[in-house]
Amino acid sequence: MDSDSNPPLHEAYEMLLNKTRNSNEQSGCDDDKVVVVVVEDTELAVINVRHLAESDEVRREKCKSEIAKASEEWGFFQIVNHGISNDVFSGLRVEREKIFQQTFEKKSKENTFFNFSADSYSWGAPSATCIRQLSWSEAFHIPLTDILGSSESNTFSSTIKEFATEVSTLAKTLADILAEKMGQKCSLFEENCLPSSCYFRLNRYPPCPLASEIHGLQPHTDSSFLTILHQDEVGGLQIMKDGKWIAVKPNPDALLIIIGDLFQAWSNGVYKSLQHRVVTNPRLERFSMAYFFCPSNDTVIRSCTEKSEYRNFSFGEYMQEVRDDVQKLGYKIGLPKFLIR
Ligand SMILES: O=C(O)CCC(=O)C(=O)O
Ligand SMILES: [Fe+2]
């Protein structure tokens, strides 16, 4: 990628390094290195979702149970035969290239061609106060309402629209299965998680010569009900299980499903919102794209169980807390703030 396109990550790194050297402030940054922990490269569950369309009920139910079990035990699974065509992904790759190749200056400004607001673009973690909070990456985080609601016609918006239509059906199918396995038949997703309330994110991780020291993306949970993630062949995604980071081997045929905070709150902790992070690569550029299955801002998330660990909250309120914490602290707190004490 052209040097004009890259965000000033090196400068941000130097600045944070100097800041750490010159100050004794701790501010949640007591450990300025990425903690090196055991990484196991295991075979993670791969679920063939074609079975959901089978006439044989036993096979259908078995597949649904696998989905629920993985969401309870891991908060993560991979799916194959998901029905989203390779053509859609090829189209997305072309558009992604175009959008990241623009100059950094252009990316950071309001973009009328792509119809994005300036805050769709982010890089490096702007409110990082120490190196541990720096993410060696850039991203476009796009509210799908900006694209689906626009009459703008260009290859970027038509490719995203096509993807959004296919992926939203998949997301809703998975969410309905998870609700059914909690004994709930509800209209929550049908009524509140419309394609236009969801988000699409394009991530780019430039090669990082300081690989062992910095994250590509700092550890976090997703604020969605669930996330559908596509990663390229480079690798770097790690998930947290029983206190260990586990590397997710790239599988070109699979999509990754990550349970987010809203499902954890809604299921009162039965489904686990998964901590994950991306580690950098010293030589290779990496890309990923994520679809966040989210409700409208005014949707109230209340547990489907009689008693809940979490108080009720609206999605809008939740996101506001997340934004405020990231701004103030450099990182997200998320669900622990909503625990009933
Ligand atoms: O790049 C990846 O593999 C993970 C991206 C991610 O976690 C996110 O965008 O929330
Ligand atoms: Fe994530």
- Among protein residues, the one whose CA lies closest to atom 10 of ligand 1: 222
CA dist 310 and 326 (Å) reads 21
- Report the pLDDT value the prediction gives residue 125, as an integer from 0 to 100: 76
CA dist 289 and 220 (Å) reads 16
Q: For residue 104, which amino acid is it?
A: F
Helix or strand (DSSP H, E) at 16: helix 9-22
Q: Is 93 a catalytic residue?
A: no
Estimate to the nearest angstrom the gap between the alpha carbon of 82 and the chain centroid.
Answer: 18
Residues with Cβ < 8 Å from 163, sequence gap 6 or more?
84, 88, 91, 92, 200, 291
Cβ burial 164-200 (10 Å sphere, 16+ → b, else e): bebbbebbbbbbbbbbebbeeeeebbeebbbbebbbb
Q: Is the minimum distance from the CB of 255 to ligand 1 under 6 angstroms?
A: no
Tracing tokens 């295991």 back to the chain, one arrives at: 42
Counting every residue written for the chain, the total comes to 341
- Report the pLDDT value the prediction gives residue 37, as an integer from 0 to 100: 60
pLDDT tens for 42-70 read 778 899 999 999 999 999 999 999 999 99
Closest ligand 1 atom number to CA of residue 222: 10
Q: Is the minimum distance from the CB of 231 to ligand 1 under 6 angstroms?
A: yes
Q: Is the minimum distance from the CB of 267 to ligand 1 under 6 angstroms?
A: no
Ligand 2 centroid – CA 49 distance (Å): 22
Instruction: Check if the beta carbon of residue 326 is closer than 8 Å to that of residue 223.
Output: no
Q: Which ligand number lies closest to the CA of residue 220?
A: 2
- Report the pLDDT value the prediction gives residue 130, as an integer from 0 to 100: 84
Instruction: Check if the beta carbon of residue 79 is closer than 8 Å to that of residue 255.
Output: yes
Closest ligand 1 atom number to CA of residue 258: 7
Instruction: Check if the beta carbon of residue 134 is closer than 8 Å to that of residue 128.
Output: yes
Which listed CATH number (3.60.15.10, 2.60.120.20, 2.60.120.330, 2.60.120.10) goes with 33-296? 2.60.120.330
Average confidence (pLDDT) per 10 residues, the chain, 341 residues = 85 87 58 57 87 96 98 97 94 95 88 71 85 92 88 87 94 97 92 94 94 87 98 95 92 96 98 96 96 98 94 98 92 95 82
Q: Is the minimum distance from the CB of 147 to ligand 1 under 6 angstroms?
A: no
CA dist 211 and 214 (Å) reads 6
- Among protein residues, the one whose CA lies closest to atom 1 of ligand 1: 288
DSSP state of 272: P
Residues with Cβ < 8 Å from 264, sequence gap 6 or more?
75, 271, 272, 273, 335
- Report the pLDDT value the prediction gives residue 197, as an integer from 0 to 100: 95
- Report the pLDDT value the prediction gives residue 32, as an integer from 0 to 100: 46
- Report the pLDDT value the prediction gives residue 2, as an integer from 0 to 100: 65
DSSP secondary structure string, 96-139? HHHHHHS-HHHHTS-BTTTTB-GGGEEEE-TT--SGGG-EEEEE
- Report the pLDDT value the prediction gives residue 239, as an integer from 0 to 100: 96
Report the DSSP pairing between strands 276-279 and 255-259.
Answer: unpaired
Ligand 1 centroid – CA 203 distance (Å): 7
Closest ligand 1 atom number to CA of residue 139: 9
Closest ligand 1 atom number to CA of residue 248: 3
Ligand 2 centroid – CA 23 distance (Å): 31
Q: Is the minimum distance from the CB of 226 to ligand 1 under 6 angstroms?
A: no
Per domain, the residue ranges of the chain are: 33-296
- Report the pLDDT value the prediction gives residue 119, as an integer from 0 to 100: 83
Q: 90 vs 159, 171, 186, 234, CA distance in Å?
A: 10, 20, 35, 17
Helix or strand (DSSP H, E) at 291: strand 286-293
Q: 34 vs 97, 202, 212, 219, 291, CA distance in Å?
A: 29, 24, 7, 10, 27
Phi first, then psi: what are they for 247, rounded to 5°? Answer: -75, 135
> What is the CB neighbour count within 10 angstroms for residue 59?
15
Q: Is the minimum distance from the CB of 278 to ligand 1 under 6 angstroms?
A: yes
- Report the pLDDT value the prediction gives residue 193, as an integer from 0 to 100: 96
Report the DSSP pairing between strands 237-241 and 226-231.
Answer: unpaired
- Report the pLDDT value the prediction gives residue 38, as an integer from 0 to 100: 65
Helix and strand tally (H, E) in the chain? 9, 15
- Report the pLDDT value the prediction gives residue 128, as an integer from 0 to 100: 83
DSSP state of 43: -
CA dist 225 and 171 (Å) reads 9
Q: Is the minimum distance from the CB of 276 to ligand 1 under 6 angstroms?
A: yes
